[in-house]
């Protein structure tokens, strides 16, 4: 996680907000520790950790995607500057999710993992989503933003694809009760629809 810099202290309470959001976003991680120490990770702890980290990665991703529409709808001029931290949390939980699968579940047995990925489309979809997240996390620093310029935005629009893949991955896991992934899919659809709408408005308003 990026260290807090003194520069970011400002009168608008930015640092306070950041600390607050950080404290909330780290809770699912601390909860896993608490449950592990108290032997409360259910009968199938590995599955529990996989589901929990996957759920929170996706949830934080949707919260992140909600920030821009909020700004647009409420016509806030101020940039919401928590995106980078939330984005890194998305990656953090996705990383734990994948690590749990590779290490705890499959003991880094690459033969078995390869078989699993090839035979089960949901694993493949999840893997693609994670791999696409890596360049986004790697270029989340200021230097990269400066260096990449306009192409940074282009690169980071991959986040929409990641979100679609991640929801699909979740949906494909569920045997029968699709209510939870359906909620995720509907929220994601709304968030994407709002973006399309604002893009359309922007084009309309632009003098030809």
Tell which one of 2, 115, 147, 199 touches another protein (CB under 8 A): 115
- Quick check: 137 binds another protein (CB under 8 A)? no
Q: Which is nearer to another protein, 42 or 144 (CB)?
A: 42
- Quick check: 46 binds another protein (CB under 8 A)? yes
Q: Which is nearer to another protein, 100 or 140 (CB)?
A: 100
Structure tokens given for 79: 């940039």
Q: Which is nearer to another protein, 12 or 112 (CB)?
A: 112
Q: How far is the CB of 94 from another protein (least distance, A)?
A: 20
What does the per-residue mask of binding to another protein show for 53-92, with x meaning CB under 8 A?
----------------------------------------
* φ/ψ (deg, to 5) at 108: 55, 30
Cα dihedral 124→66→160→13 (10° resolution): -100
Footprint of another protein on 9-28 (CB under 8 A): none
- Quick check: 121 binds another protein (CB under 8 A)? yes
Size, binding site for another protein by CB under 8 A = 25
How crowded is residue 179: how many other Cβ atoms within 10 Å of its Cβ?
7
| Segment holding 166, helix H or strand E | helix 158-173
CB-based contact 13:20 (threshold 8 Å): no
* Span interacting with another protein, options 20-28, 56-64, 79-87, 106-114, rule CB under 8 A: 106-114
Tell which one of 102, 173, 182, 185 touches another protein (CB under 8 A): 173
- Quick check: 182 binds another protein (CB under 8 A)? no
Tell which one of 2, 31, 120, 147 touches another protein (CB under 8 A): 120
Cα(118)–Cα(116) distance, integer angstroms: 6
Cβ partners under 8 Å of residue 123, min gap 6? 116, 117
Cα(83)–Cα(25) distance, integer angstroms: 12
- Quick check: 47 binds another protein (CB under 8 A)? yes
Cβ partners under 8 Å of residue 59, min gap 6? none
Exposed, middle or buried: residue 151 (CB in 10 Å: 0-12, 13-18, 19+)? exposed
Kindly list the residues in this chain that would bind another protein in the complex (CB under 8 A).
36, 41-47, 104-107, 109, 112, 115-116, 119-122, 172-173, 175-177
């Amino acid at each position: 996680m990026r260290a807090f810099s003194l520069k970011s202290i400002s009168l608008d309470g930015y640092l306070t907000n950041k600390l607050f959001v950080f404290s909330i976003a780290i809770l699912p991680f601390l909860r896993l520790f608490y449950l592990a120490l108290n032997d409360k990770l259910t009968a199938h702890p590995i599955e529990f950790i996989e589901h929990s980290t996957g759920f929170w990665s996706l949830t934080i991703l949707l919260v992140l995607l909600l920030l821009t529409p909020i700004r647009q709808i409420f016509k806030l001029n101020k940039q919401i500057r928590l995106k980078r931290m939330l984005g890194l949390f998305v990656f953090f939980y996705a990383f734990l999710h994948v690590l749990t699968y590779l290490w705890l579940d499959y003991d880094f047995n690459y033969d078995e993992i390869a078989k699993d990925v090839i035979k089960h489309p949901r694993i493949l979809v999840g893997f693609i989503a994670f791999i696409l997240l890596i360049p986004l996390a790697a270029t989340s620093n200021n230097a990269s933003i400066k260096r990449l310029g306009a192409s940074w935005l282009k690169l980071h629009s991959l986040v929409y694809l990641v979100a679609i893949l991640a929801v699909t991955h979740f949906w494909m896991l569920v045997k029968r009760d699709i209510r939870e992934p359906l909620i995720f899919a509907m929220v994601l659809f709304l968030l994407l629809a709002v973006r399309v709408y604002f893009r359309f408005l922007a084009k309309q308003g632009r003098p030809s």
